[in-house]
Amino acid sequence: MTPPSRLTPYLYVLPLVALLAFVFGYPLLRIFEFSFKMVRGIDGPWIGLRNYQLVLGQSLFWESVLHNLQLLLAIPVMVGISLIVSVLLSERVAGWKLYRIIVFVPFVLAIPIVAVVMKRMFQFSGPVNEMLRWMSLDFMALDWIGSSDVALWTVMILIIWRESALGIILFLARLLSLDESVIEAAKIDGANWWHRLWHIILPEMRGVIEFYVVVSVITMLAAVFSYIYIMGGGRGGPGTSTEVVELYIFNALIRSSLPGIASAASVMLFLVTGVLIFLLFRVRRRAEAT
């Protein structure tokens, strides 16, 4: 019997690799190609870097980038909330398993559903403002989704509320896997709750926190479309106050019939996200090593 060639295993996986290359690689190549063309319908003439020049020269694109960067401010809040709630749950207070399910519910619900509900709640005459007025806090009854100055912060509240749920579950899973004897030993040695958190728990959680931060950064830059689309009236409004890069791409492709422009912006977003994913893997590797 002839021993199998070294190539044999590769031949076995070749069909799947070819399928994946076709499903993911081909569209990606086409997007790169389109970004250098003035596409009308399904193709168009080669125009070099013109699409990139137009995108980078448009104030709206930079406004969109700025909004994505503003959303990054949500990440420290999400980490803080996730840490506090997960640590409290890990203390195994009465009913903690039920609380665990409740705090994870936002993440299970589809974004469009929670966004539609939130939008109703934050309307000028909606329940949030009605409650504030009832509490005689009229000065806090803002036009949450109708004011250009406030709308992006309102979206951020929704994102924090939903995305923190993932952080809580990730952090809680890590907390529950900690070696309890170390914590017990610290207790016996007289370490109070704060000391245990600062000197034992947080260092042990460093890897998962870094992971969550990198995932959240990617989310804020490239995965907030659903939130923005619904809360911003489908247009990143009012005006362009909640427009983000994903919506910019969507508008260019679907509403302005500019596939070349959409592709150029997509390529840039892809490259930035690619760098972040690379960082994610490095962080994970380092976390595993420690």
Partner 1 sequence: MDNSAYPMFTRRSLMLSSAMLAGGAALGGLSKGAAAQVKDMDMWYWGEQELPGLQKYVNDSVAKYKAATVKPMLQDTAVVISQFQTAAAAGNAPDVQYLWNGIYHMESVWLGYLRGLKSLIKPDILAASNPTMLSHFGGDIYRTGWYPLPMFWCYNKTLFEKAGLDPEAPPKTWDELLVACDKLKSSGVEALGGGIQDGYWSEWYITHSLPQQLDSLGEAVELFIGDKDFNDPKYHEHWVKLAELKTKGFLNKDMSSLELYPGIDLVVAGKLGIGQTIGTRLPADSKATGGKIGYMTMPVFGKGKLAATPVVDVQGLGISTNAEDAAAAAAFLEFLQSPEQLKAFWEATNWLPSNTTFDSSVIQDASVRGLWENWGLKSNISNVTNLMPGQFYERAAIPTGQQIVAGSMTGEQAGELAAKTAKEWKDFNPDMVENYRKWVKDLSSPT
The residue ranges that bind partner 1 (CB under 8 A) are 38, 40-43, 54, 58, 60, 122-126, 143-149, 233-235, 237-240, 251, 254-258, 261
- CA 221 and chain centroid, separation: 7
Smaller CB separation from partner 1, 144 or 171: 144
Residue 261 Cβ, how far from partner 1 at the closest point, in Å?
Answer: 7
Smaller CB separation from partner 1, 171 or 248: 248
User: What Rg value do the Cα atoms of the chain yield, rounded?
Assistant: 24
Q: From 117, 99, 100, 124, select the one nearest 158 (Cα to Cα).
A: 117
Residue 44 Cβ, how far from partner 1 at the closest point, in Å?
Answer: 8
What sign results for the dihedral spanned by CA atoms 122, 123, 127, 131? positive
Distances (CA, A) of 243 to 10, 45, 192: 45, 29, 47
Residue 226 Cβ, how far from partner 1 at the closest point, in Å?
Answer: 14
Whole-number Å distance between alpha carbons of 241 and 84: 32
Smaller CB separation from partner 1, 74 or 261: 261
How many residues belong to the chain?
290
Residue 148 Cβ, how far from partner 1 at the closest point, in Å?
Answer: 5
Residue 110 Cβ, how far from partner 1 at the closest point, in Å?
Answer: 18
Smaller CB separation from partner 1, 43 or 184: 43
Question: Are 155 and 270 within 8 A, CB to CB?
Answer: no
Smaller CB separation from partner 1, 261 or 283: 261
